[in-house]
Homo-oligomer: A and B are copies of this chain.
């Protein structure tokens, strides 16, 4: 199954899930021989909400979105997934179903890793188990921050939060490709796509960002932070 550019083995994987550092050679080899590489084109669904949570998804390259499909046809983007992180939804430990979907934003290389094997190893390797706990907890903290942002802030504050997230956590750069559509930005901030456009225009008019549809540059991070804090 190996052979693509970056992924020859878990051990040599340039994206390497940091939790794997807790694994012994033989444990890592177990994972390595039970993984399935896959590539995805933008827009393709990688994990479907409601399907059996039989696999975790390791992100080797590219960016994906985790999102909940609401019952009225609306989506809520929970988070973006970047290389080096593993997507093992909490459903794996609750009802063995994925409680959200994951879809490729960019082209993606990924590995499916059996959830059973991850659970199995976590039963015999406590350091690995603890690192799993840490992963879930980090997501919980982030999820709480998202909730506060959405519950307490008006549109400009919410959009500021997402732009700061993209800049600080996803790209590590104030100048980046806007890989999300206006619609998706809305699904991440709980606002209509038209409102995304309008608020971004306001930000551009006031010199906070420069925006060229598919490219964003943060010109005044201080102002953006203050928009976020003002709410």
Which residues on A are within 8 Å of B, measured CB to CB?
Answer: 68, 70-72, 74, 76, 78, 90-94, 99-100, 119, 122-124, 126-127, 129-130, 132-134, 136-141, 143-144, 146-148, 150-152, 190, 229, 231
Contact = CB atoms under 8 A, between A and B. Distances in A.
Given A70-B152, A133-B136, A150-B151, A91 B126 contact: no
A148 B70 contact: yes
A143 B68 CA distance: 12
A137 B92 contact: yes
A74 B146 CA distance: 15
Contacts of A68: 144, 147-148
How many chain copies does the complex carry?
Answer: 2
A92 to B, nearest CB: 7
A136 B90 contact: yes
Given A130-B122, A136-B137, A139-B140, A151 B190 contact: yes
Contacts of A126: 122-124, 126, 129
A190 B150 CA distance: 9
Given A76-B151, A144-B78, A147-B146, A133 B70 contact: no
A93 B134 contact: yes
B122 A129 contact: yes
Contacts of A148: 68, 70, 76
A133 B132 contact: yes
A130 B229 CA distance: 38
Contacts of A144: 68, 78, 90, 99-100, 143
A231 B143 CA distance: 22
Contact of A72 (B74, B99, B152): B152
